[in-house]
DNA sequence: TAGTGGTCTAGACCACGAT
DNA sequence: TCGTGGTCTAGACCACTAC
């Protein structure tokens, strides 16, 4: 299936910005000119530009035109966006990430997990504790709950690699969204044991609920890492 | 100036979802029916629904229809969204928030600040350190840099209240976006002194750059709080 | 006044999912 | 097959900004 026209237009303009055909802090051609060049209607050009504006690449001002935004000084190449649905394996590369499966159980959900995943007491869940390693050294301690019915036939082999690949490629499920909460915390016994956290060393935790595009909750998890190993970033566009 | 039609349609549908005229986990009327009801074109209905989908209220599936999403279990009323441009005064209410101005200087920017704010060495900046209090007790320690030319005539009186109100209402400037980085950290001397952090008590820090809708950088700041006082949340919709 | 982006329409065709 | 949402068009009018 081919991409939509507005996506193709957006891809081309994005490339021109990256290659500085449209340099930072300059105006790009107006919507009518772009429509003529790409042989599409102005509405299609506008939809492409709306997407690029949400990505933070351009900003539009009525009556003036569309400008290219410069680089963001705080932004670094190895930033971990807090709004991303690809797992750690995708973000860092499968060769750099390995996982120790510390716990892999099936249980009935506690009242708390029932509420978090919108489940009844008799619907079993997986409880998974994994130590994710980056280049061999401890990186993130992940504690995950998933309903068994939504993710059938989970295995140690899959947990060693990537749960998200299994969900997408084998089960053909699609994520709809996630709600995440970022805390700082004191280390627990598990943090000290597996992340090798020092006593009183700050921990950064992401607690999240993930749902599918059907609206069903598929995951409740916490991800903890040493305070100096990782931070999370957010690009926030007004309106 | 009146709101756009698609905004009015979105507002009405949002209200119907909140009031459960359209209950959670049910289909809402299809786009043609809504277009007929509101006497607008289907494109306008679609634009309204696109916005509601980005807010996480509904999800659309081609061939099926548009469903209402249920409540998010992790979400609490007093959550602090990490994607918000209203300052602390707006979020918590002017009556609950007060500020001690610890430092208020004008200086030439260091090399680091020059880079963060895209300034030359001879363009002065404000350096501001404020302890924000909630109901009187220490809440957030804010260290802020702003270019003097963009925010003229800043005063202690303004700092005691709300910088953002001054920027919006008096200077008529509009934010374009922000890039934020969330860390966990060890307490500094200032954290211990002003936030009354214990030795080795984890601190949650948000480091951010904010720019205007003109593309000019207006703020570089860090906001630090005790780990058990505040966390940040993100609603993340796929695509 | 001229040119920009923002909105809106009426109608068309398509891909998808259920029947 | 039918109804859903997704895309796309050509043209129109408006609000805003600069000159």
Burial class (CB in 10 A: 0-12, 13-18, 19+), A169: exposed
Q: Are A12 and A34 in contact (CB under 8 A)?
A: no
Q: How far apart are CA A122 and CA A125, in angstroms?
A: 9
The alpha carbon of A218 is separated from its chain's Cα centroid by a whole number of angstroms, namely 15
Q: In this predicted structure, what is the pLDDT of residue B79?
A: 84
Considering all nucleic acid strands, name the nucleotide whose C1' atom is nearest to the C-alpha of residue B1.
Answer: D15
The residues, ordered by sequence, that sit 6+ positions from A179 with a Cβ below 8 Å of its Cβ are A208, A209, B56, B72, B74, B75, B233, B234, B235, B236
Q: In this predicted structure, what is the pLDDT of residue B89?
A: 85
Confidence of residue B231 (pLDDT cuts 50, 70, 90): very high
Tell me the percentage of chain B whose pLDDT exceeds 90: 75
Q: How far apart are CA A13 and CA B50, in angstroms?
A: 23
**What single DSSP character describes residue A83?**
S
**Choosing among B87, B184, B210, which should be mutated to test the A contact, i.e. which has the most A CBs within 10 A?**
B184
Q: Does the CB of A43 fall within 7 Å of any strand D atom?
A: yes
Burial B93-118 (b: 16+ CB within 10 A, else e): eeeebbbeeeeeeeeebeeebbebbb
- Average pLDDT over all residues of chain B: 92
| Strand D bases with any atom < 7 A from protein Cβ | 3-12, 15-18
Residue entry with tokens 């002003």? B194
Mean pLDDT of B148-152: 92
**Between chain A and chain B, how many beta carbons pairs sit less than 8 Å apart?**
170
Q: Scanning every residue of chain B, which has its alpha carbon at the shortest distance from the alpha carbon of A183?
A: B231
Superfamily of domain A79-233, CATH level 4: Chorismate lyase-like (3.40.1410.10)
The lowest-confidence range among A73-82, B55-64, B65-74, B142-151 is A73-82
The alpha carbon of B202 is separated from its chain's Cα centroid by a whole number of angstroms, namely 23
Check the CA dihedral A41-A47-A48-A52 and report its sign. Answer: positive
| Tokens (6 digits) for B232 | 């940040």
SS3 state of residue A182: strand
Distance A5 CA to D7 C1' (A): 8
Please indicate whether residue B108 or residue B80 has the higher confidence score (pLDDT).
B108
Residues of chain B with CATH 3.40.1410.10: 79-233
Q: Which residue is the nearest neighbor of C16, CA to C1'?
A: B63
Q: How far apart are CA A217 and CA A59, in angstroms?
A: 35
Distance A3 CA to D6 C1' (A): 12
| Strand C bases with any atom < 7 A from protein Cβ | 3-12, 15-18
Judge: B177–A202 Cβ closer than 8 Å, yes or no. no
Q: How far apart are CA B224 and CA B208, in angstroms?
A: 12
Mean pLDDT of B21-35: 94
Confidence of residue B90 (pLDDT cuts 50, 70, 90): confident
Mean pLDDT of B209-226: 93
Judge: A73–B116 Cβ closer than 8 Å, yes or no. yes
Q: In this predicted structure, what is the pLDDT of residue A1?
A: 55
State which residues of chain A have pLDDT below 70.
1-2
**Choosing among A71, A187, A195, A234, which should be mutated to test the B contact, i.e. which has the most B CBs within 10 A?**
A234
CA distances to A154, B17, B28, B198, B239 from B66, in Å: 31, 12, 6, 51, 16
**How far B219 CA sits from the closest chain A CA (Å)?**
12
Sheet with strand A125-134: strands edge to edge: A97-107, A125-134, A137-147, A217-226, A203-212, A175-185, B232-237, B80-81
Q: In this predicted structure, what is the pLDDT of residue B65?
A: 94
The alpha carbon of B177 is separated from its chain's Cα centroid by a whole number of angstroms, namely 10
Q: Does the CB of A62 fall within 7 Å of any strand C atom?
A: yes
Whether residue B225 has pLDDT greater than 80: yes
Give A233's contacts in chain B (Cβ within 8 Å): 179-182
A56: region left, alpha or beta (phi > 0 left; psi from -120 to 50 alpha) = left
Q: Scanning every residue of chain A, which has its alpha carbon at the shortest distance from the alpha carbon of B186?
A: A202
Q: Does the CB of B40 fall within 7 Å of any strand C atom?
A: yes
Confidence of residue B107 (pLDDT cuts 50, 70, 90): very high
The lowest-confidence range among B79-93, B114-128, B194-208, B219-233 is B79-93
Q: In this predicted structure, what is the pLDDT of residue B101?
A: 96
Q: Are A27 and A38 in contact (CB under 8 A)?
A: no
Q: Scanning every residue of chain B, which has its alpha carbon at the shortest distance from the alpha carbon of A72?
A: B179
Q: In this predicted structure, what is the pLDDT of residue B159?
A: 93
Give A217's contacts in chain B (Cβ within 8 Å): 73
Alpha-carbon dihedral of residues A98, A104, A109, A115, nearest 10 degrees?
A: 0
What's domain A5-68's architecture? Orthogonal Bundle (1.10)
The lowest-confidence range among A164-178, B12-26, B134-148 is A164-178
Q: Does the CB of B64 fall within 7 Å of any strand C atom?
A: yes
Q: In this predicted structure, what is the pLDDT of residue B208?
A: 95
Residues of chain A with CATH 1.10.10.10: 5-68
Judge: B73–A232 Cβ closer than 8 Å, yes or no. no
Confidence of residue B173 (pLDDT cuts 50, 70, 90): confident
| Tokens (6 digits) for A1 | 């299936």
pTM of the full structure: 0.92
Q: Does the CB of B74 fall within 7 Å of any strand D atom?
A: no
């Amino acid at each position: 299936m081919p991409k939509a026209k507005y996506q193709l237009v957006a891809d081309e303009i994005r490339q021109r910005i990256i290659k500085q055909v449209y340099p930072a802090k300059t105006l790009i051609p107006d919507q009518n000119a772009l429509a003529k060049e790409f042989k599409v209607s102005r509405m299609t050009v506008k939809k492409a530009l709306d997407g690029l504006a949400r990505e933070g690449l351009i900003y539009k001002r009525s009556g003036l035109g569309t400008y290219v935004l410069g680089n963001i000084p705080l932004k670094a190449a190895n930033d971990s966006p807090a709004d991303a649905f690809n797992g750690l394996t995708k973000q860092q590369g499968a060769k750099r990430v390995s996982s120790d499966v510390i716990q892999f159980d099936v249980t009935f959900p506690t009242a708390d997990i029932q509420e978090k995943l919108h489940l009844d007491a008799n619907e079993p869940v997986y409880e998974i504790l994994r130590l994710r390693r980056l280049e061999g050294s401890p990186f993130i301690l992940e504690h995950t709950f998933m309903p068994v019915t939504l993710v059938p036939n989970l295995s140690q082999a899959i947990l060693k690699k990537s749960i998200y690949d299994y969900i997408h490629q084998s089960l053909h499920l699609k994520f709809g969204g996630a709600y995440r909460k970022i805390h700082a915390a004191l280390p627990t016994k598990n943090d000290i044991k597996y992340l090798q956290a020092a006593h009183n060393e700050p921990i950064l935790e992401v607690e999240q609920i993930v749902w599918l595009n059907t609206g069903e909750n598929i995951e409740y998890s916490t991800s903890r890492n040493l305070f100096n190993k990782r931070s999370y970033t957010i690009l926030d566009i007004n309106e």
